[in-house]
């Protein structure tokens, strides 16, 4: 079973698209998408310096355009994806490349949305001094406890011993002064605390931009960063893309789902290397290829030919998890105590509870009609960002 993966922000490097422009129609594609992206994709992908492409408003559309154009070069067209591959997934902004590969939205709508997303996240980052720090090693439970104790959010739980803490610069400084035992900290060169409450204004801007965007149900198995679930509807995918801006990325759960699905090969789109590196440690035995330049296309097509016959997703989990959007205290809704609601149907948008934190609270609501299978927390429990709260059975998936 072949999965195509799209990397997230931070994977870009100066000039990474230069060799791709030698392919027929590649430059024409980027030129046509540049007005939608709000930037000159060819210049930023070839001659711009590291500081320029570190800008969130530039990096995000550049990554999505690169992934989509390379996928077209690999597959012939995105319409061939469902025939040649079995699954797709993207890390953070890479989800906006995975969506068109799965046929959920058009590449053009993806570029429009990522342009808004990048600018809005850059604006939210500029509102307050925030940042991110990679935590490498250490016991996961101890690392997560230390992150929460310092008021930070585990913005990326990437698996393979890598968690990214995010929050204010003051919180990160205190965290660095007292790191978790056995862990190494690496300050990331990013504009702000992505995938945390600090990005809430950006999520609102993206929601406004997404209104009216047409969607189709995925034509292949499509994974979600929220909880590693297989997304069954286009509307659910779009809602997840919006809320993911201010919620943690659970790539560890995506890789767990890949293992459960029986993924046998992963091709990572350019600028490739990050996700195949994580998979090398977390998914031993899976064939991996980082598609860095056109010179890798022949090897990638060999992998497609070898794995194209395995498309079944019969092992895909039909249930979904709702996870805590932020760290805080879980409070069940007045009519939704865990003991009373197992087996109860719930509507799209129903408030099942709230996560209370300093300065406010955040509702826990499903973006699809479902039936509650089981609660994983109780009223009053402390929860960390990204922690599973309740398991649901979506309607029509029995």
Q: Which residues fall within 8 angstroms of residue 75, CB to CB, at 6 or more apart?
A: 81, 84, 85, 304
Reduced 3-state DSSP string for 137-176: ECCHHHHHHHHHHCCCEEEEEEECCEEEEEEEHHHHHHHH
Do 172 and 131 touch, CB atoms closer than 8 A?
Answer: yes
In Å, how far from its chain's centre is CA 310? Answer: 24
360/107 Cα distance (integer angstroms): 37
Q: In what order do the strands lie in the sheet with 370-375?
A: 320-323, 388-394, 370-375, 345-346
d(CA 265, CA 308): 10
**Residue 195 is among the residues annotated as catalytic for this protein:** yes
Catalytic residue among 34, 91, 146, 195: 195
Taking the mean position of all CA atoms in its chain, how far away is CA 157?
11
Pairing of strands 320-323, 287-290: unpaired
Who contacts 285 (Cβ-Cβ below 8 Å, separation ≥6)? none
Task: Let me know: does 115 contact 36? Beta carbons within 8 Å.
Answer: yes
Active site residue 91: no
| Number of other CB atoms surrounding residue 380 within 10 Å | 10
Q: Which of 92, 115, 146, 384 is catalytic?
A: 92
In the numeric block, the tokens 């011993």 are attached to 161
- Name the residue with tokens 């890598």: 162
Q: Kindly state the tokens that stand for 371.
A: 């039936």
**CA–CA dist 225, 241 (Å, integer):** 9
Is the separation of the CB atoms in 118 and 194 below 8 Å?
no
Interatomic CA distance for residues 287 and 273, integer angstroms: 14
Strands (E), the chain: 2-6, 87-90, 130-137, 153-159, 162-168, 183-187, 221-223, 230-231, 265-268, 287-290, 320-323, 328-332, 345-346, 353-357, 360-364, 370-375, 382-383, 388-394
Catalytic residue set: 92, 195
């Amino acid at each position: 079973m072949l999965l195509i993966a799209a990397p997230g922000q931070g994977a870009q490097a100066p000039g990474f698209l230069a060799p791709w422009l030698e392919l027929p129609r590649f430059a024409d594609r980027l030129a046509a998408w540049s007005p939608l992206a709000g930037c000159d994709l060819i210049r930023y992908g070839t001659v711009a310096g590291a500081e320029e492409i570190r800008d969130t408003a530039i990096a995000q559309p550049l990554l999505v355009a690169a992934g989509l154009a390379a996928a077209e070069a690999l597959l012939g067209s995105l319409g061939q994806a469902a025939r040649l591959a079995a699954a797709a997934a993207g890390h953070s902004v890479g989800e906006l490349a995975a969506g068109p590969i799965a046929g959920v939205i058009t590449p053009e709508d993806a570029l429009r949305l990522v342009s808004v997303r990048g600018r809005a996240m850059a604006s939210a980052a500029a509102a307050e001094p925030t940042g991110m720090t990679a935590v490498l090693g250490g016991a996961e439970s101890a690392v997560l406890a230390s992150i929460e104790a310092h008021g930070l959010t585990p913005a990326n739980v990437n698996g393979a011993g890598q968690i990214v803490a995010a929050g204010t610069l003051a919180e990160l400084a205190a965290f660095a002064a007292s790191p978790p035992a056995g862990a190494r900290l690496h300050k990331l060169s990013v504009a702000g605390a992505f995938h945390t409450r600090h990005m809430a204004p950006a999520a609102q801007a993206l929601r406004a931009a997404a209104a009216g965007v047409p969607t189709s149900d995925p034509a292949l198995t499509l994974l979600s960063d929220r909880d590693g679930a297989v997304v069954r509807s286009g509307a659910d995918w779009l809602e997840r893309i919006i809320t993911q801006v201010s919620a943690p990325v659970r790539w560890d759960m995506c890789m767990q789902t890949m293992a459960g699905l029986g993924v046998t090969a992963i091709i990572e789109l350019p600028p490739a290397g990050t996700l195949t590196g994580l998979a090398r440690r977390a998914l031993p035995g899976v064939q991996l290829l980082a598609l860095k330049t056109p010179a890798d296309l022949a090897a990638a097509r060999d992998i497609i030919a070898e794995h194209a016959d395995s498309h079944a997703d019969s092992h895909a989990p039909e249930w979904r998890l709702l996870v805590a959007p932020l760290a805080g205290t879980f409070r069940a809704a007045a009519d939704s105590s865990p003991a009373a609601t197992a087996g109860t149907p719930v509507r799209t948008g129903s408030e099942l509870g709230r996560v209370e934190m300093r300065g406010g609270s955040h509702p826990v609501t499903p973006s699809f009609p479902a039936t509650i299978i089981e609660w994983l927390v109780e009223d009053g429990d402390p929860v960390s960002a990204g922690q599973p709260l309740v398991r649901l059975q979506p309607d029509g998936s029995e």
